[in-house]
Chains A and B, each alone.
Chain A
Amino acid sequence: MSMVIPLRFKSQYDPELFSEGVKFNLIRLLADVDFKALNGWSPKYQAIIDTGSPANIIPQYIWSQSINRLILTKKFSLGGIGEGKVFGYLGEVTARVLYRAKSTKPLKLRAFLLETDSVPLIFGFEDFLTISTLLSSYPKNLASVKF
């Protein structure tokens, strides 16, 4: 049986552009998620659902408090646009996506387990969007992910 979890848009404007007379919306698609931990499930976190990210990216505090498995012990540096880089390991965690009374079954996700804590939690394609159907209509304020 499939499960559809509503997602939500977060919208704000860029203050620097606004001060130049341009209102430019910064929009994110968010999901509330938690992770399997030794004593049950972790606290919930708002994750960015990012179709521009090929991988799931998990800050250190979250994976260190969760049940995780390293797939490779080799450390990788991850970079995006520009010169900023972070370091992490390819590993596996178990997570759920939730909204009010709805929850997915536990999902085993490969992810980059970062050495830093000062980045957002990102769910991208491999093992997340590759196993689900994403619906996103900003004009209708309607978004969901179906597993």
Chain B
Amino acid sequence: MRKQKSNERKTPSRYWDDSDWAIANAQMLSEQCPNQWVAIYNKKVIAHHKELGRVAKQAQKLDINDPVFTFSERGIHVYGYSTSI
């Protein structure tokens, strides 16, 4: 069977290193960027704000590929849902 050609770009190993770094440094991130979205690239915080859209736009301006986006919680949050109109 002929292998189908994929146009999809492979995720660089740097992304996974940054993803691991964000997890390993969660304490520091929660103190510096409490309850904010954070963009990380090359093991550095390149943008942070409570609104993800602002963080993504700041990261886009830097013309980089595959930053890690993560939400940095501070304190105890219990998320759930109950719908109402």
Interface residues in chain A, defined as those with a beta carbon under 8 Å from any beta carbon in chain B: 8-16, 26, 28, 30, 32, 40-41, 43-46, 48, 50, 52-55, 57, 59-62, 65, 74-82, 98-100, 112, 117-122
Contacts and interface: CB of A to CB of B under 8 A. Distances in A.
A105 B69 CA distance: 22
Nearest to A99: B16
B74 A76 contact: no
Contacts of B51: 61, 117-118
Contacts of B13: 100
B58 interface: no
A41 B6 CA distance: 13
Given A16-B75, A44-B19, A82-B78, 8 more contacts: A8-B20, A15-B31, A28-B73, A41-B8, A43-B69, A76-B84, A77-B85, A117-B51
B1 interface: no
Given A30-B23, A41-B8, A76-B84, A14 B68 contact: no
A50 B19 contact: no
Contacts of A54: 80-81
A45 B8 CA distance: 17
B81 A112 contact: yes
B55 to A, nearest CB: 8
Contacts of A30: 23, 70
Q: How large is the interface on B (under 10, 10 to 19, 20 to 34, 35 or more residues)?
A: 35 or more
Contact of B22 (A11, A46, A98): A46
Contacts of A8: 20, 23
A50 B73 CA distance: 14
Contacts of A40: 7-9
B5 to A, nearest CB: 14
Contacts of B7: 40
Nearest to A34: B11
A93 to B, nearest CB: 15
Contacts of A59: 52
